Amino acid sequence: MILDAKLAILADAAKYDASCASSGAAPRNSVGGRGIGSTEGSGICHSYAPDGRCISLLKILLTNFCLYDCLYCVNRVSSNVQRARFTVQEVVNLTLDFYRRNCIEGLFLSSGIIQSPDYTMELVVEVARVLREEHDFRGYIHLKTIPDASPELMQRAGCYADRLSINVELPTPQGLAALAPEKDGAAIRRSMARMAGHIADARQSRREQQGAAQVVSLPGSTRRAAAPHFAPGGQSTQMIVGADAADDRTILATSAQLYGGFRLRRVYYSAFSPIPDASRALPLAAPPMVREHRLYQADWLMRFYGFAHEEIVPARQGGMLSLDMDPKLAWAIAHPERFPVNLNTAPREMLLRVPGLGVGSVDRLLASRRVRRVRHADLSGLRVPLKKVLPFVETVDHRPGRLLDSGHLQAFFATPARPVPLAGAPAAPAPPVQASLFG
């Protein structure tokens, strides 16, 4: 099979994985090296597909042959999809060629399981090894790890990769058992825990080494060995939304547990998308895009705005986020007793709960409060969405008045839902230093 045909099949097979982040790696470049590549903090989105998702990494499968029969997956063993397999060298060459053209930040490599988890993982790791060791490639590498592969292979994957990920796939163990019979939820979490340990250890020794830089080494001792490197970009995971019956409350509780328990950098949500040659057991409908977008917004609230996951989805809504408005606005309308927030006196955690105020705006408001009394006109200067903000805040010369009666608010903000999700990042609210805002 010619390379172009393989690429078509194995890119198509990889597109259901939402992750495209190329951030979080330690800064490095190819000055003084033998090859090419650099990472400088935030990643770069080199292109955007018409689905609105950013293209920052060459995201492909090594092969879409697979022993597993996960019902939601286009590559499951029982699917009639056309199959292909890259050689290690083909993936290496494609990565370097696209990188030289400045089309990508690096490689995101995943694979169907062939022969055995270890056999497959070994091939994936070999691609990364050849890139790093034979070509001195210093761009970004994200490897999808296979939970059942041996710890030693995981360790090697972490040495070459900037980021590792294992998909939990479904929000509940029951869902996983029903739709992905060969996958073991407990094994997935064990692998995550092990990776979290490695990542933390590597960070710790790096810190200690930096701290010890001033210490005079023993006479006769050689130069200190470099601190071990293990996935400096951390680990991420993905949950499929809408393939099983789990509600938003359950999904967010699972995310909170993953963030807390395994210190994940990102949980990605992927609206279950119809696939060619789909299983009869699954909903064949347009993907629930608005719901996916609301989940990303809720995820942001948990990570950057101080919301606890159980606050975000009110129990009386059947455990689902509102599709008509963003979760922060929904929370504010449900809690009129907490408003208006006085922009001149309220603490940071309350400013963060004002609909329409992002982290950056809040920090600027706090700084300027030391030298000025915040007025209505200052909000225009901040370019925040006034219609959203004004009903909830007080300034020197503004009071929201009767609009805060909850009945009115609900009507005031009742607009048809217009989702604008990004691949892996909501349009709002924006976190601090959020690479995907520019790319």
Partner 1 sequence: MDDATTTATDAVTTVTLGHATDWAGFRAAARTLLQGGRPPQQVQWFTAADAAGDLFAEGSGEAGPAAADDAARAPGASFSPDAPPPASPPRVPREFLQRCERVVLHRDPGRFALMYRLLWRLAHEPGLRHDPLDPDRLRLQHLDRAVKRDMHKMRAFVRFRPVPEPDGGTLHIAWFEPDHWITEANAPFFARRFTQMRWAILTPDASVHWDGQRLHQGPAAQRSDAPPPDAGEALWLTYYRNIFNPARLKLDMMRKEMPTRYWKNLPEATLIGELAQTAQARSTRMVEAPGTVPRRRIAAGPGRAAARPAE
For the segment 259-298, give every residue that binds partner 1 (CB under 8 A): 271, 273-281, 284-287, 289
Q: Is 36 in the site for partner 1 (CB under 8 A)?
A: yes
Q: Are 183 and 168 in contact (CB under 8 A)?
A: no
Structure tokens at 203: 């960070």
- Name which of residues 71 to 100 contact partner 1 (CB under 8 A): 77-80, 82-85, 94, 97-98, 100
In the numeric block, the tokens 């101080």 are attached to 306
Residue selected from 225, 226, 315, 367 as contacting partner 1 according to rule CB under 8 A: 367
Residues contacting partner 1: total by CB under 8 A:
94
Of 226-234, 239-247, 328-336, 369-377, which segment contacts partner 1 by CB under 8 A? 369-377
Comparing CB distances to partner 1, the nearer of 171 and 421 is 421
List of long-range contacts for 402-405, beta carbons under 8 Å, 24+ apart: 404/336, 404/339, 404/340, 405/336
428 phi/psi in degrees, rounded to 5: -155, 155
Q: Are 180 and 170 in contact (CB under 8 A)?
A: yes
- Name which of residues 101 to 160 contact partner 1 (CB under 8 A): 101-103, 113-117
Which residues have CB under 8 Å from 378's CB, separation 6+? 365, 368, 372, 395
Q: How far is the CB of 82 from partner 1 (least distance, A)?
A: 8
Q: Is 15 in the site for partner 1 (CB under 8 A)?
A: yes
Of 156-164, 170-178, 196-204, 368-376, which segment contacts partner 1 by CB under 8 A? 368-376
Q: How far is the CB of 166 from partner 1 (least distance, A)?
A: 17
Of 231-239, 320-328, 376-384, 385-393, which segment contacts partner 1 by CB under 8 A? 376-384
Comparing CB distances to partner 1, the nearer of 84 and 199 is 84
Q: How far is the CB of 117 from partner 1 (least distance, A)?
A: 7
The upper half-sphere exposure of residue 151, i.e. CA atoms within 13 Å in the direction of its Cβ, equals 10
Q: How far is the CB of 161 from partner 1 (least distance, A)?
A: 19
Q: Is 368 in the site for partner 1 (CB under 8 A)?
A: yes
- Name which of residues 378 to 407 contact partner 1 (CB under 8 A): 378, 381-382
Residue selected from 12, 169, 299, 394 as contacting partner 1 according to rule CB under 8 A: 12
Residue among 61, 131, 132 nearest 89 (CA): 131
Residue selected from 19, 23, 63, 172 as contacting partner 1 according to rule CB under 8 A: 63
Q: Is 51 in the site for partner 1 (CB under 8 A)?
A: yes
**Interatomic CA distance for residues 402 and 140, integer angstroms:** 53
The helix (run of H) or strand (run of E) holding residue 53 is none
Comparing CB distances to partner 1, the nearer of 158 and 288 is 288
Q: How far is the CB of 363 from partner 1 (least distance, A)?
A: 8
Comparing CB distances to partner 1, the nearer of 32 and 219 is 32
Q: Is 37 in the site for partner 1 (CB under 8 A)?
A: yes
Comparing CB distances to partner 1, the nearer of 208 and 277 is 277
Q: Is 11 in the site for partner 1 (CB under 8 A)?
A: yes
Q: Is 187 in the site for partner 1 (CB under 8 A)?
A: no
Exposure string of 228-248, with b = 16+ CB inside 10 Å and e = fewer, is: eebbbbbbbbbbbbbbbebeb
Q: Is 8 in the site for partner 1 (CB under 8 A)?
A: yes
Strand boundaries in 278-412, DSSP class E? 341-342, 393-394
Q: Are 386 and 412 in contact (CB under 8 A)?
A: no
Which residues have CB under 8 Å from 230's CB, separation 6+? 155, 158, 159, 198, 199, 201, 202
Residue selected from 225, 370, 407, 432 as contacting partner 1 according to rule CB under 8 A: 370
Of 50-58, 248-256, 299-307, 406-414, which segment contacts partner 1 by CB under 8 A? 50-58
> How many other C-beta atoms are found inside a 10 Å radius of the C-beta of residue 23?
23
Q: Is 46 in the site for partner 1 (CB under 8 A)?
A: yes
The helix (run of H) or strand (run of E) holding residue 142 is strand 140-144
Structure tokens at 258: 């993953």
Which residues have CB under 8 Å from 32's CB, separation 6+? none
Q: Is 439 in the site for partner 1 (CB under 8 A)?
A: yes
Q: How far is the CB of 111 from partner 1 (least distance, A)?
A: 12
- Name which of residues 337 to 366 contact partner 1 (CB under 8 A): 364-365
**Interatomic CA distance for residues 409 and 411, integer angstroms:** 5
Residue among 358, 436, 350, 437 nearest 393 (CA): 350
Q: Is 372 in the site for partner 1 (CB under 8 A)?
A: yes
Q: How far is the CB of 437 from partner 1 (least distance, A)?
A: 9
Burial class (CB in 10 A: 0-12, 13-18, 19+), 131: buried
